[in-house]
Chains A and B, each alone.
Chain A
Amino acid sequence: GQNIDQPTEMTATEGAIVQINCTYQTSGFNGLFWYQQHAGEAPTFLSYNVLDGLEEKGRFSSFLSRSKGYSYLLLKELQMKDSASYLCAVIDSNYQLIWGAGTKLIIKP
């Protein structure tokens, strides 16, 4: 079957760095997305990886290893507004979007 695993919840301190991991087993691979979702709001796009390596965008970076079926989202200089759920999603060979359950990130002062 198809599966995406990510931690249910993580806690970090304001100003620190946190890494949210995502592992996947899917039938084929056409890209991996990370989204941020605040409670009660629609998700917003953070990153897209289709090739191995690290993609950096300001405070957020995303890494992909296709051979390992692994990705992580790295958040630096954490701010209170970064408290949200972070969703990992993979597009498989049939272009179906397979979603992880999301990681709830709690930022403490």
Chain B
Amino acid sequence: GAVVSQHPSWVICKSGTSVKIECRSLDFQATTMFWYRQFPKQSLMLMATSNEGSKATYEQGVEKDKFLINHASLTLSTLTVTSAHPEDSSFYICSARAGETEAFFGQGTRLTVV
């Protein structure tokens, strides 16, 4: 299957700082990328959908000013958690798809805010 690379896989940051997570499609052009958040033993929660070259569409309850998403190219989308707080500690996962094909997932990023 297609490869989606997510980086970093693990990050620890201080409260109040910002963290950027990258999601790259390595062997296909991703017209759409999805960002998810997952708390332990809970379902995968879709945060936002981004299409290349346009603003991301955020799900209800997700603060767009706190979770900045940039999908500037067909192979790269970034999620920046701004002014991170301990409650933002979670597992963030991206997925990417080309057109209306199935989505392929990244490895996930575990964020711990201390």
Contacts and interface: CB of A to CB of B under 8 A. Distances in A.
Q: Do A and B make up one complex?
A: yes
B102 A94 contact: no
Most-contacted residue by chain A among B93, B102, B107 (CB, 10 A): B102
A50 B103 CA distance: 25
Interface residues on B, range: 20 to 34
A96 B7 CA distance: 11
A95 B43 contact: no
B10 A95 contact: yes
Interface in A57-83: none
B62 interface: no
Interface of A: 31, 33, 35, 37, 39-40, 42-45, 48, 50, 85, 89, 91, 94-99, 101-102
A43 to B, nearest CB: 7
Contacts of B101: 39-40
A96 B9 contact: yes
Contacts of B110: 94-96
A98 B105 CA distance: 9
B9 A43 contact: no
B100 A39 contact: yes
A91 B44 CA distance: 13
A95 B40 CA distance: 10
A26 to B, nearest CB: 12
Interface string B7-39: 001100000000000000000000000100000
